[in-house]
Amino acid sequence: MDFILEGIKQAIMLLVEGNPEIVHIMFLSLRVSGIATLISLIIGLPVGTFLALAEFPSKKLWISMINTGMALPPVAVGLFVSIMLWRSGPLGNLRLMYTPSAIIIAQTIIAAPVVTGLTLTALQQLNPRLKLQLYGLGASRIQMILTLWREARLPLLATVIAGFGSVISEVGASMMVGGNLRYHTRVLTTAIVLETSKGQFAIAIALSLILLLLAYTVNLWLTWLQQRNSQK
């Protein structure tokens, strides 16, 4: 159990001293997962809204596909993205393999179904009469959608939290498409795997604590926004 205490001490020292490599890994993790979450929102918010409001014959099929996508195995996503981005793959000419961009693509594929599915659920929980009332008051389609988003802002903020949480702690896809290259594609999760494989449990624990602190800080800010909106 001594290595656990040593890991806690090392985590504190790494944060206090501002170790350059750890700082780089932290900001890369935050940047990659933040961009992936943002892209997932850009994709998932309108798609989830469309599925919640529109009526068409294959709607249930698409919803079932989204729900299945919410449970996508990260390693399967990593394999798919690797095949697409490999030199002999369809997108090999883009030379994105083993770059932060490749990790962003993989994490976006993981987070987008989560954001889409939770957006769909949040809007379906609203009173269906609200849509008719808004149209009756002369609201345009865009005004109606914006109003529905405002009414569902609390669960939608929870959607952001869930989307970010699904990728900041992801390791399989990031390892496969990023390669865990030092000062280039190494993020906190892949660094933890590396140190564990080397038997450096104290450092792995320190990195795990930093990852938890980073995730908690971001989610604390999002939760603060959520709760502040609940009082309006």
Q: How is residue 99 annotated by DSSP?
A: S
Least confident of 62-66, 160-164, 177-181, 213-217: 213-217
The one-character DSSP state at 187 is -
Among the listed residues 174, 184, 180, the one whose alpha carbon sits nearest the alpha carbon of residue 195: 180
Q: What is the pTM of this model?
A: 0.89
Cα dist from 148 to 3, 32, 129, 130, 154, whole Å: 51, 30, 11, 8, 11
Domains, the chain, ordered by start = 2-230 (1.10.3720.10)
Lowest-pLDDT range of 47-56, 185-194, 207-216, 223-232: 223-232
Amino acid 190: pLDDT: 93
pLDDT digits (tens, 9 = 90+) for 29-71: 999 999 999 999 999 999 999 999 888 899 999 999 999 999 8
Length of the chain: 232
Q: What pLDDT, on a 0 to 100 scale, did the predictor assign at position 3?
A: 64
In whole angstroms, what is the distance from residue 2 CA to residue 14 CA? 18
What is the residue-averaged pLDDT of the chain?
Answer: 87
d(CA 160, CA 211): 18
Q: Quick one: pLDDT at residue 203?
A: 79
